[in-house]
Chain A
Amino acid sequence: MGTLITTLYPPPSTASQIRNPVDSATHVSIVAATSTIARVVAGILSDYLAPPVPTSDACLPPPRKFPRCSRMYLLFSSAFLMLLGNLYVSLGYVQEHGENFWIVSSSIGAGYGAVFCLAPTVVSVVWGTENFGTNWGIVTMTPAAGATVFGSIFAWGYEHYANNHGICWGKECYSGSFMIMAVSVACALVGWTIAWRAPSGWRARGIVV
């Protein structure tokens, strides 16, 4: 994000004397705050809206006046929020419009935070809590790999358009890599839909997520 912020305005040494008004520390705080709020809200919403995990008692839970909403829809919404944030950057809406950068940091922060709460919840609902530590341990290896892969994609794009001094500014520095990230989130939505709705998916097995 800090590197991204430096690309939004010309470096201070150039003719235009505009100083980059975007303070990366502020946006770090926005990401931290929105992701924390999103985690708690997603947790509460998923308990309140999602179908209850079946218990041994044959009796059904009392009927409810408002409709249930699957945890998967909450997961999809959070990822979609991230997708919008990535698209917003990629399409250049923050280029020299640093005042709009909060839209990006809050949407990506909130989406990312909520996914990190909803994903383990889905693991515990689908595969149970007895082995939850091992199962979530296996799934949670992927973010570290993802950080490396997508960090490299961003670095590659930045370096490709950087000048002789290794400094890059302008839409080109990040547009392509953020489009790749938006497409990647879209692919994730497809992958989750397959896991959920495919002929041998959770729904077909009678698993209520």
Chain B
Amino acid sequence: MSASPLLQRAWRFYSPIGCSVPVFGYICDAYGPAKLSLLSSTFFCPAYLLASHAFANQLPYPVMVLAFVFVGMGTSSMYFAGVTTSAKNFTGNRGLALSLPIAAFGLSSLWQSQLVSRVFTDETTGELAVAAIFRAYSAFLVVIGIIGALGLKVIKNDQEISRTGEWENLLEGGQNSGGPSYGAIGQETAGEEVLEKRPLINTATREFLGDNTMWFFAAGVFLVTGPGEAFINNACFFSSFCRPDH
């Protein structure tokens, strides 16, 4: 899509900002994927309408940036709604459960760029009807978000909960929720949870953030995906919708 370099820059730099907001994963854990999927519609619809309006009327650049930050937030909501539901429901095949939605995310940008370039290209001038594409996306993604809201559901897996003793301790963690200092923290939170049903940072998250191995692991992810993203982004200089998403 070679609409305009400015548009490409807005897309490349500002939609990842929206994508990197960690709160959507939390929303999915706390309120469920259906609500998150609906939330993605409420981000996508106005964001793409704004982008379409901004492009058609040559509005100032920050308007496009704002639209793309919201597109990024919508993308992130949809990604977490799909991936988290899959991870929570298919605990027996975690690898495949995560790889399929993530692979589908990557593929969607491929087939959609093909479709868009065929349907929305002016046959005589060869130009892309960018504003129309954005309007189409705002409608299409509302429908997808609603389908997600109707279909996505986490079915409680009793076996997994009891295996870590999470249920008894009111704690949510993986195999990692053991350890010497754990009991004391667990009881403390049990008290807290009576007062407040789901604090913004619950014990499991606090434990996750306080875990040294998490920082080493996240640093590794940073050091590996950074070069990968840099390599791919330099290709997107020419075709901006090619980015295989997370």
Contacts and interface: CB of A to CB of B under 8 A. Distances in A.
Q: In the A-B complex, list the 10 residue pairs whose CB atoms are closest, starting with the nearest.
A: A146-B226, A43-B99, A137-B25, A128-B174, A1-B235, A46-B95, A112-B228, A133-B25, A130-B172, A181-B227
A18 interface: no
Interface in A81-127: 82, 86, 108-109, 111-113, 115-127
Given A82-B224, A150-B229, A35 B238 contact: no
Q: How large is the interface on B (under 10, 10 to 19, 20 to 34, 35 or more residues)?
A: 35 or more
Contacts, number: 335
A200 B212 contact: yes
B145 interface: no
Contacts of A20: none
Interface of B: 16-17, 19-29, 80, 83-84, 87-88, 91, 93-100, 102-103, 106-107, 109-110, 157, 159-164, 166, 172-179, 202, 204-205, 208-209, 211-214, 216-239, 242, 244, 246
Q: How large is the interface on A (under 10, 10 to 19, 20 to 34, 35 or more residues)?
A: 35 or more
Given A115-B221, A200-B212, A131 B205 contact: yes
Contact of B87 (A29, A111, A132, A153): A132
Contacts of A198: 213, 216
A38 B99 CA distance: 9
Contact of B94 (A124, A142, A146, A181): A124
* Chain B contact surface mostly: helix
* Chain A contact surface mostly: helix
A46 B87 CA distance: 14
A40 B103 contact: yes
Interface stretch (A9-17, A49-57, A162-170): A49-57
Contact of A139 (B98, B99, B157, B221): B221
